[in-house]
Structure 1
Amino acid sequence: MERRKPKAVFMAFGTKGDVYPLAAIAAAFACDQKQYNVILITHSAHKSLSPHLSEKHVEYCAVSSPPVLSADQNNDIEGQAESSFLLQKKKITGDHRRECYSLIERIFDDGLSLDGDLIVINFFALEGWSLAECFSIRCIVAAPYVVPYSAPASFERQFQRELPLLYRYLTEAPSGKVCWKDVTHWMWPLFTENWGSWRNDNLHLSPCPFTDPVTGIPTWYDRPQSPLVMYGFSKEVVECPAYWPSRVRVCGFWYLPTEWQFTCMQCRETSVYDSSEHRYAKDNLCPRHLELQNFVKATPIFIGLSAIGSMGFLKDPHSFICVLQEVLSTTNYRFILFTGGCEPLESVIHTIAAETTLDQNNWSEDCVPLYNGRLFCFFGSIPYGWLFPKCAAVIHHGGSGTTAAALQAGTPQVVCPFVLDQFYWAERMHWLGVSPKPLSRNHLLPDKNGDTSIREAAHVLSLAIHDALSSRIKTRAAEIAERIYLEDGVSEAIKNLKEELGLN
């Protein structure tokens, strides 16, 4: 039977900050365009999204690959560890691509693509580009941050030498067609061997995009449109340079639906968010989390490292807690720590709590106070939009979602980046004047669990907090919040998708 409903596949891989913003767009698109079948393909680790997506009539499809790969840091033989990691990565990558192909094949099993079909990918789902080509489907890029990787310095020179005709094809492209700007901005990995062999051997496509699979000559007769690239950040925060491709659209930050951000369903029902007013009409948590609600009345400093633990950076959770303890011993600050699901960190917290005499019978199982109640450890999640306006400052890893939430709240930041786009956001926040100079990772996570290392880290962290709480940074953070107050990035993304597809 001929398929009548077009399909919109959102393919997003990586950590929560990489995936959830695209899931939010998928949910909004499904609500706006009910004639579509909407599907999200992501890691099984993000299965908590499934019920939220189901409520919005979005199908959740999982692949078994992990959101991040981290080498085994405990292997004493460095060479063997590296070799084992590369073999593991190769196997996981192969399995991941096979699963992606099987899912796309199942989704478009009729073999006939409709004009309205599309695949939306983030920068960690580049297999989606080649799969879209394989099944003759439009592909769109959507990312909550600028490209987290850059081409090697020798890329253009090597490309021109090895693929002179294709280089000419791209540099001489007519207006609106795929061109060299697209390649240098984000597409360059698609021309590397990493993707070329898979395209050729498994998908039976040309190893290089935009070339004939038989002759290898550029497809002069068929010049596709420059692909739409949507960014989930504000123009007030990130400038759009003239050298970017003309089809780049900066939408505004892609904030998640409020109801997705509660781990406690009772808190979700108790707190009512008024989207038209950008505030909580009922500013209460449930009775089980009354102590959390009371703690934030003292305007604490937030600390959260999100996925840093699962990436393998939090090697010594005890030294991290010791740094916070040292800061508490020399200042009047109070901290609220989100553990981000990092089990080793939560285990350390439970151990320290068990050694104290503090009566915890009145606390919920996901709330643990330490150090006379001045460090409040929370194992769940609540919306940053509820929490951050109540905090004096936000200390975080530079993830795009946390950065956006702190900007929206107008709360000063202290950023300690670890990988990829986190360094960009850390430098950008400092440049905007909403945070002091970025911290080095050893200023938050000391390499050694010694008294000297912990004292040095605590001293630097204390100075950064002091700077963040200055009137200059507070004022600047409030100014930026006011400028982005009325932006609705998700709605703008839906508008761009509809324009691309010719929808009303």
Structure 2
Amino acid sequence: MKISLQTFGTRGDVHPFVALGIGLRRRGHDVSVATSTDFKAMVELAGLEFKEIPGKSADHFADPGVIKSIRKSASSLRTALVMKRPTTEEFAHSVERMQEAAEGADFVLTSMITRGYGFAGASAPWGTVNWWPMTATREFRAYKTPDLPLGPAYTRFTHAMSAQVEWAVHRPAVNKVRARRGLPPLKKSPMGTLAVEHPVFYPYSPAFLPPASDWPARAHVTGYWVWERPEQDPPADLVDFLDSGSAPLVLALGSAWPVYGEETFRAVRDAVRQAGRRLVVVGGPEGTASDDVFRVQEVDYGWLFPKAAAVVHGAAFGTTADTLRAGVPHVTVPCWADGPYWAARLAEVGVSARPVPFQKMTGELLRQAVASVLDDPRPAERAARLGERVRAERGVDTACDLIESAVAAAG
């Protein structure tokens, strides 16, 4: 079977697709990953075929305007207004390249940004991936919609409202491509076909966020898609640091370090010191280490996080997944995008301190958050139990099963 995986955006948007591609290839399928050239090396390192989608990866944090916007507000809409966006023609050209990349495929899996492939007239059965719930339900509001006490009807309406906003982004380019192919324009949003006609894959843990009971059958919460890389020897001096005392906290802010800056490191360091603990800092600006602070630019989270007393992070999708799998408590400092969403969920299930929004961060709030996960044994106990369940899930295998079933059902 020939499968085309199509994704675009940051490393976090590509990494899970590569993990899925490895799983599909192990089952004997012919797999290609279509994305930007920034991730060509990653795709080929995994032994998968690379196909190009034009454009640069979404390195939002290289843009001073984006950094300034996020530091003022966590609003994704506000930040979107200052981001550099492709023109309609550039977007349409990318959609056409997605269609070229899918030629001869038996199934195509798209991401949030590459759904234009399907809407513009797909040549093969297709499905899509979303990093947070988007399928309409009466049980919880759509992502980033107002929390109003208006009952289940309003809750479901928030999903329709969110879908219309997304379709407005795709519509101009999709209809331009459809016109070039001799297809009629889509006047009505096709978002309602997702999870009804086309499967939707949610690659997060059902133990962490279960699917809604009123979702259609083609909405699938699979478990996380993890790329199990060969083990590498960790830095010897980091091993020595870990062995020389009690479990430290870990500060890992990923690609968002340019937003957080050295001042966030200092605030977290002081909060950890106040608690009488040590700190490992992954990435971030070059700075001075000390007897109680170890700084490393890159390390395997799967190896490091289980050795931590807690992980301080921005609640982005990937780091949240890694910390959940490690089974240790969280201290979250969300700054934008899906960070506030996942931070709130972590607090709701009791495995984290109350979130400390970056825009409202103070040293006292950080000290309280760190103390709450160290002094109270319940977050660690809950995190350990949830971690066992998350690690037991077969996210990649489940998604592979579903793709194979979708192709079989399509004939």
Query: Scaled by the length of structure 1, what TM-score is found?
Result: 0.66
Equivalent residues of 2:334, 2:355 under 8 A apart: yes
Pairing 1:203–2:178 present: yes
Maintained 8 Å contact 1:50/1:60: no
For 1:127, the equivalent position in structure 2 comes to 116
Which secondary structure does the structure 2 equivalent of 1:502 belong to? helix
224, 247, 251: which one pairs with 1:253? 224
Highest Rg: 1 or 2? 1
**CA separation in 2, counterparts of 1:199 and 1:61?**
19
Paired letter, 1:196: R
Aligned pairs for 1:94-493 (under 5 A) are 94-105=89-100, 108=103, 113=104, 117-131=106-120, 133=121, 135-147=122-134, 150=143, 184=160, 187-189=163-165, 191-192=167-168, 194-204=169-179, 205-208=183-186, 226-259=197-230, 268-270=231-233, 285=234, 289-297=235-243, 298=245, 299-309=247-257, 313-314=259-260, 317-327=261-271, 330-339=274-283, 345-346=285-286, 349=287, 353=288, 370-371=289-290, 373-382=291-300, 384-442=301-359, 457-469=362-374, 470-493=376-399
Residue aligned with 1:249, SS: strand
Distance 2:306 2:145 in 1: 41
Aligned length: 378
* Distance in 2 (alpha carbons) for counterparts of 1:191 and 1:95: 17
Q: Structure 2: how far apart are the matches of 1:291 and 1:224? A: 49
Give the direction of change, closer, same or farther, for the CA distance of 1:466–1:39 in structure 2 (3 Å limit): same
Indicate which of 38, 45, 54 corresponds to 1:63: 54
Match of 2:11 in 1: 16
Query: 1:491-502, aligned counterparts within 5 Å?
Result: 491-502=397-408
- In the TM superposition, residue 387 of structure 1 has moved relative to its aligned partner by 1.0
| Structure 1 letter corresponding to 2:257 | G
| Residue aligned with 2:295, SS | strand
* Helix, strand or coil at the partner of 1:145: coil
Residues 31, 60 of structure 1: alpha-carbon distance in 2 compared, 3 angstrom cutoff: farther
Shift of 1:465: 0.9
Tell me by how many angstroms 1:107 deviates.
5.1
- Confirm or deny: 8 A CA contact 1:65 1:92 kept in the other structure: no
Gaps of 5+ in 2: 70-76, 136-141, 147-155
| Contact 1:191/1:209, CA 8 A, preserved across alignment | no
Cα RMSD of the aligned pairs, angstroms, is: 3.6
Deviates more, 1:401-410 or 1:488-497: 401-410
Bigger relative CO (Cα 8 Å, ≥ 6 apart): 2
- Report the 3-state secondary structure (helix = DSSP H, G, I; strand = E; otherwise coil) of the residue aligned with 2:178: coil
Q: Hey, what's the Cα distance between the residues in 1 that align with 2:88 and 2:279? A: 40
| Residues 334 and 96 (structure 1), Cα distance of their counterparts in 2 relative to 1, 3 Å cut | farther
Structure-2-length-normalised TM-score: 0.80
Opposite residue 491 of structure 1, the aligned amino acid is D
C-alpha deviation, 1:485, in angstroms: 3.5
Equivalent positions of 1:20-59 (< 5 A) are 20-34=15-29, 36=30, 38-53=31-46, 55=47, 57-59=48-50
Cα shift readout 1:371-424 (whole Å, capped 9, x = no counterpart) = 3x3111111231x22111100001111112211221222101011212222222
Give the whole-Å Cα distance in 1 for the aligned partners of 2:208 and 2:194. 34
Deviation at 1:225, TM superposition (A): 5.7
**Structure 1: unaligned runs, 5 residues or longer:** 1-5, 77-81, 154-179, 212-217, 260-267, 271-284, 354-369, 445-456
Q: Measure, in 2, the Cα distance between the counterparts of 1:300 and 1:229.
A: 39
| Alpha-carbon distance in structure 2 between the residues aligned to 1:230 and 1:107 | 19
Q: Percent identity?
A: 22
C-alpha distance in structure 1 between counterparts of 2:347 and 2:389, whole Å: 17
The answer (yes or no) to whether the contact 1:415–1:435 under 8 Å persists in 2 is: yes
Partner of 2:74: none
Task: Give yes or no for contact 1:328–1:374 (8 Å, CA) kept in 2.
Answer: no
Q: Residues of 2 paired with 1:473 and 1:126: CA distance?
A: 38
Cα distance, 1:375–1:247 mapped onto 2, change above 3 Å: same
Contact 1:146 1:421 in 2 (8 A): no
Q: How much does 1:245 deviate?
A: 2.8
Q: Tell me what 1:156 maps to.
A: none
Q: Secondary structure at the match of 1:19?
A: helix
Q: Whole-Å Cα distance in 1 between the matches of residues 92 and 366 of structure 2?
A: 42
**Aligned-pair CA distance for 1:184:** 3.3
